[in-house]
A and B are shown apart, each in its own frame.
Chain A
Amino acid sequence: DAGITQSPRHKVTETGTPVTLRCHQTENHRYMYWYRQDPGHGLRLIHYSYGVKDTDKGEVSDGYSVSRSKTEDFLLTLESATSSQTSVYFCATREHGVNNEQFFGPGTRLTVL
């Protein structure tokens, strides 16, 4: 398995506060992704990165920002958390190559009160 860790694993916060989730990989994969998982919606892409300092938006990017200053780290920031952002967040990585699969981290459960 690819070495992917996410921190924190659980977080409870209040509406309006900023939150940063961290994804760390040890596999030197080029691509990194942030998804949110909600019942009935499956996984929805928030943002992804195709290299250091290179990022792009996914289908549910509003209210989220990302940064990737090193190959191994991909940060997801909720600028001002809302209750609708209560979800489970997954990080994934992928090697360069069109048919390569994604590897997933263990997830972060975020509750916004």
Chain B
Amino acid sequence: AQSVTQLGSHVSVSEGALVLLRCNYSSSVPPYLFWYVQYPNQGLQLLLKYTSAATLVKGINGFEAEFKKSETSFHLTKPSAHMSDAAEYFCAVSVSTGNQFYFGTGTSLTVIP
């Protein structure tokens, strides 16, 4: 079975500081991993995805994530937080043997001016 754990339901950073949102997955087969962002009262938008081509994945808005198989992690980072980054972030996993996505419980990012 597949599952995703996001450590920290709330993260606060100062504007200009490093953003680090943690995601660990559990999968018995090679996973495909995704980060989504949700702004208030909106649906989810794809930030980036890992599909086994490269372990360091760059996404939109300056975000990137690194797939580390040995740590079963796919943490999301951004070097310098911007006020517009305040949102809810979700990590998700899917596998080639199924049609479902499995989402973490989300991390709410607050950016302090």
On A, residues with C-beta under 8 Å from B are 4, 31, 33, 35, 40-45, 48, 50, 56, 58, 90, 92, 98-99, 101-107
Also in contact, A43 and B103, with CB within 8 A (given A98-B94, A98-B96, A104-B44)? yes
Interface pair A42/B90, CB less than 8 Å apart: yes
CA distance A47 to B103 in the complex (A): 15
List the B side residues contacting A90 at CB < 8 Å: 43-44
CB <8 Å contact, A104 and B43: yes
**A27 vs B85: C-alpha distance in the bound complex, in angstroms?**
29
Which residue of chain B is the closest to A58 with respect to CB atoms?
B100
Contacts of B95 in A (CB 8 A): 98
With contact pairs A99-B51, A104-B44, A104-B45 given, residues A42 and B103 touching in the complex (Cβ less than 8 Å): yes
CB of A101 within 8 A of CB of B100, answer no
Q: Which residues of B contact A44 (CB under 8 A)?
A: 103
B100/A45 in contact, CB under 8 A: yes
Q: Which of chain A's residues has its CB closest to B4's CB? A: A42
> Which 4 A/B pairs are nearest by Cβ-Cβ distance?
A104-B43, A99-B51, A42-B105, A98-B96
Docked Cα-Cα span, A79 to B44, in Å, equals: 27
Partner of A41, one of B49, B96, B105: B105
Given A41-B105, A98-B32: A107 in contact with B43 (beta carbons within 8 A): yes
In chain A, what residue has the closest Cβ to B53?
A99
- Tell whether, in the assembled complex, residue A42 and residue B104 are in contact, meaning their CB atoms are under 8 Å apart: yes
How far is the CB of A26 from the nearest CB of chain B, in Å? 15
Check if B28 is an interface residue, CB within 8 A of chain A.
Answer: no
User: A50-B99, A99-B51, A106-B43 known; A40 and B105 CB under 8 Å?
Assistant: yes
A108 to chain B, nearest CB (A): 10
Interface pairs (27), CB distance under 8 Å: A4-B43, A31-B99, A42-B90, A42-B103, A42-B104, A42-B105, A43-B44, A43-B90, A43-B103, A45-B100, A50-B99, A90-B43, A90-B44, A92-B44, A98-B94, A98-B95, A99-B94, A102-B34, A102-B44, A103-B46, A104-B43, A104-B44, A104-B45, A105-B43, A106-B42, A107-B42, A107-B43
